[in-house]
Structure 1
Amino acid sequence: MRLIQYLLVSIFLTGAAWAQETSEPTADERTSTGGATTLEDILARQRGETVDNSYRSENTGQGNAEGLLGQLGTRGVASDSDVYRALRYGSADVTVSSHGPADSVLIQDGGMWWLTFRTGPLREYGTYIVAGMLGIILLFFLIRGKIRIDGEKTGRTVTRFNGFERFGHWLFAGSFLILGVTGLLTLYGRDFLIPVFGKEGFAALAQGCKWLHNNLAWAFMLGLIIVTVNWIAHNIPNRVDLKWLAAGGGLFTKNSHPPAKKFNAGQKIIFWACILLGVSISLSGLSLLFPFEMPLFAKTFQIANATGIPQMMGLNLPEQMSPQEEMQYAQVWHVMVAYVFIAIIVAHIYLGSVGMEGAFDAMGTGEVEEQWAREHHSLWLEEVQEKEAGKTATSPAE
């Protein structure tokens, strides 16, 4: 009988707890707390459910003065909780001694979505992008192997890139690699490096990463300009690129070498991706470096809303932003572009080094094996040889 009694009591308590957990807070329950947090709100947060905060954001003591007369506290007719809510949701009349553009924003509640998105979906899907590219490269290597020079090497070399071209490339590439590493350490460091180095060790590392990231951005932008000026004329698409793409660039079959000029269609795609992503990530980076002088997203959203496209997609893009919100949007966009950029550059590094025989020489010494040039850039090699033949023909005989 005692066992049965215990079972009945357990079932009763479980049912009561279940009923309490599944119940929504009613207006009466909210009123009974004076508009404050209810037990159901607390339980819902513990279960990881979304709680409607309108009872806070709409209850900041503004317009409730008559009901509070005679109950004056340390904040006049508004309680301490009312003042906190008004500060949190931006309805407080704040006066500060300093006059910076963001000094009057004491609490920015909107920053919570940024923190949640930055440490959640942004990192998760960004990791999938980079890991996915690494997986594709590994699969390609296992199936295709290293792309080697098919014909017999001649022992002669052809100048592919001069010193200034290589300088611009390595300035752009080297600064990007350091920016990528320091950015990833900043993004993932709290979770993975604090257990290794401790909080003080990670703080020193994070400070160093921040300094490098901010200052090497200028080298990256200079390299971007040099690369653009050097090669934009050679990367205009043409009909030859369509033939190259139709043949898959010869990457998937041996002894297949579609004709190409100085840059083939694949290299042109990477070039334009680097230019567009480089400009975008530079602009968002400048916005982060100078948030009060160079806000980008409020103006961008105004232009986007004017087209009507966001509304068709059910989006309501904000057109008025505090400096903090501008920085949050800029940081999210900066990281999104960086993930795509890193994935593309990883593929480029593979094909330009271990993935293709002779490819690294183009940027290493600037000289490439003549047979390599004939197989991968035959039209460009013909142009070079014609120019050399013309120079020989016009030079005076000894």
Structure 2
Amino acid sequence: MNMLKTIRAHLASVLVLFALTLAGIMPAVHTASAQTNGEVPGQALGLNSDADLWRFIRNGNAGDTQMKDQLAAVMIQSEGDNWRAARNGPVSVYGAAGVLGIIVLLAVFYSWRGRITIDAGPSGKTIERFGTIDRFAHWLMAGSFVILALTGLNLLYGRYTLLPLLGPEAFTAITIAGKYAHNYLAFAFMAGLALSFVLWVRHNIPSKIDLDWLKAGGGIFTKGVHPPARKFNAGQKIIFWVVMLGGLSVSLSGIALLFPFQTAMFAKTFGLLNMIGFDLPTTLTMLQEQQLNQLWHGIVSLVLMTIIVAHIYIGSVGMEGALDAMNSGKVDRNWAKEHHGLWVKEVDAATKAAKAKPAE
């Protein structure tokens, strides 16, 4: 009898525990079932389904956060996928193709044309082409640009090229040093750019003579051909305006990257473009602005690098006597007559007039 009572008591206890367990499980089962059916319990975000919830998040909408950085309220920023795909895809691929392509093209051109020499031979007499302030402006801009280019290329391609060769420690040290150099030498580049513009803009206004120079290919492709040119020929004028406009653009995007989340240049630029028929978005978040700044900065920089490589070639190994213009500031008179004949006549006329003027 006692044994029977004991068994009944145990069974009763088991039944009670089972009932309590079942009572606790049912809400969880109901909740899981509700979520499986696409309903969010309590509709805390005012949404009816998981699909709406994730659509809300994937669209980059911000929730609530107690952090000071309001960007932390955005769980998923889908434009970041597009930015990464563009940076690691077309920008990197076409940028490398452009820089490497111009180097290969110039090597082929040099093997065919050789160094462009002074047809009449050096005269032994010189004429001043650039003064001290001109050369200072040029080397300030050019020297800082070279360092900016190298450090920028490292940021874009270094992990694929230098990291396997140098190892993580050396690569990290070089990259950190390069980052600081890039940030601070940017201001030297801007100063050189502004000074060069003030000094040379009056010499780089396009004229009809430039058309003749372009028709003759600048005399670069044919020996003995020397189209007329003043102090800056058509090719140099093209370089000047590309560097000025491109340098200004890359400087503005660089400032936006140095001081993040402070500017809305792309939204304003898109608004202006929409006034002439474009249909571009003007409601951009600060993070979208930064992503567009970074892409534009990389694209313009790579275009400038490609063009400047050609400029460096023709101003050094590609042409005899050209480098003297920015080294000593004085060039051989025969070189000047062949490449800037009209300018030489202007200088000689001015010198003759100055000598003929009686002293007061």
Tell me the CA shift for residue 76 of structure 1: 12
Counterpart secondary structure, 1:307: coil
Show CA shifts across 1:26-54 (max 9, x none).
xxxxx9x948xxxxxxxxxxxxxxxxxxx
Q: Which runs of 5+ in 2 are unaligned?
A: 1-32
Distance 1:111 1:264 in 2: 44
Distance 1:300 1:345 in 2: 27
Tell me the CA shift for residue 187 of structure 1: 0.4
The worse-fitting range, judged by mean Cα deviation, of 163-172 and 207-216 is: 207-216
* AA in 2 matched with 1:362: A
Distance 1:83 1:92 in 2: 12
Which residue does the alignment assign to 2:313?
350
Against the structure 1 CA distance between its residues 393 and 91, is the aligned structure 2 distance closer, same or farther, given a 3 Å change threshold?
Answer: closer
Structure 1 residue 139 and structure 2 residue 108: aligned?
yes
2:60 to 50, 70, 90: 90
Tell me the CA shift for residue 103 of structure 1: 4.5
Tell me the CA shift for residue 290 of structure 1: 1.9
Which residue does the alignment assign to 1:330?
293
Which residue does the alignment assign to 1:378?
341
Against the structure 1 CA distance between its residues 379 and 203, is the aligned structure 2 distance closer, same or farther, given a 3 Å change threshold?
Answer: same
Show CA shifts across 1:100-153 (max 9, x none).
463433542321111121111210111111122112211211221100001143
Show CA shifts across 1:207-255 (max 9, x none).
2111111111100110010110000000111111111111111111111
Which residue does the alignment assign to 1:200?
169
Which residue does the alignment assign to 2:281?
318
Structure 1 residue 155 and structure 2 residue 143: aligned?
no
Show CA shifts across 1:307-348 (max 9, x none).
3334xxxxxx33222222111101101111111100110000
Distance 1:92 1:156 in 2: 71
Larger Rg computed on CA atoms: 2
Which residue does the alignment assign to 2:6?
none
Which residue does the alignment assign to 2:256?
287
Which residue does the alignment assign to 1:214?
183
Which residue does the alignment assign to 1:181?
150
Distance 1:92 1:358 in 2: 62
RCO higher in structure (CA 8 A, sep ≥6): 2
RMSD of equivalent CA atoms: 2.8
Counterpart secondary structure, 2:331: strand
Tell me the CA shift for residue 353 of structure 1: 0.2
* AA in 1 matched with 2:184: N
Contact 2:228 2:341 in 1 (8 A): yes
Structure 1 residue 269 and structure 2 residue 232: aligned?
no
Contact 2:65 2:72 in 1 (8 A): no
Distance 2:101 2:352 in 1: 47
Counterpart secondary structure, 1:102: helix
Contact 2:250 2:301 in 1 (8 A): yes
* AA in 2 matched with 1:333: W
Contact 1:159 1:367 in 2 (8 A): yes
Distance 2:200 2:172 in 1: 41
Counterpart secondary structure, 2:323: helix
Structure 1 residue 341 and structure 2 residue 304: aligned?
yes
Tell me the CA shift for residue 293 of structure 1: 2.1
- TM-score normalized by the length of structure 1: 0.76
Tell me the CA shift for residue 291 of structure 1: 2.5
* AA in 2 matched with 1:335: G
Query: 1:121-136 maps to which residues of 2 (within 5 A)?
Result: 121-136=90-105
Contact 1:261 1:377 in 2 (8 A): yes
| The structure with more helix, counted as a fraction of residues | 2
Q: Which runs of 5+ in 1 are unaligned?
A: 1-30, 36-58, 311-316
Distance 2:334 2:322 in 1: 12
Tell me the CA shift for residue 306 of structure 1: 3.6
Distance 1:166 1:102 in 2: 46
Counterpart secondary structure, 1:96: coil
Against the structure 1 CA distance between its residues 91 and 256, is the aligned structure 2 distance closer, same or farther, given a 3 Å change threshold?
Answer: closer
Against the structure 1 CA distance between its residues 297 and 77, is the aligned structure 2 distance closer, same or farther, given a 3 Å change threshold?
Answer: closer
- TM-score normalized by the length of structure 2: 0.83
Counterpart secondary structure, 2:64: coil
Tell me the CA shift for residue 86 of structure 1: 5.4
Counterpart secondary structure, 2:127: strand
The worse-fitting range, judged by mean Cα deviation, of 322-331 and 203-212 is: 203-212
Distance 1:376 1:118 in 2: 41
Aligned residue pairs, count: 327
Distance 1:272 1:153 in 2: 31
Which residue does the alignment assign to 2:4?
none
Distance 1:76 1:236 in 2: 62
Which residue does the alignment assign to 1:392?
355
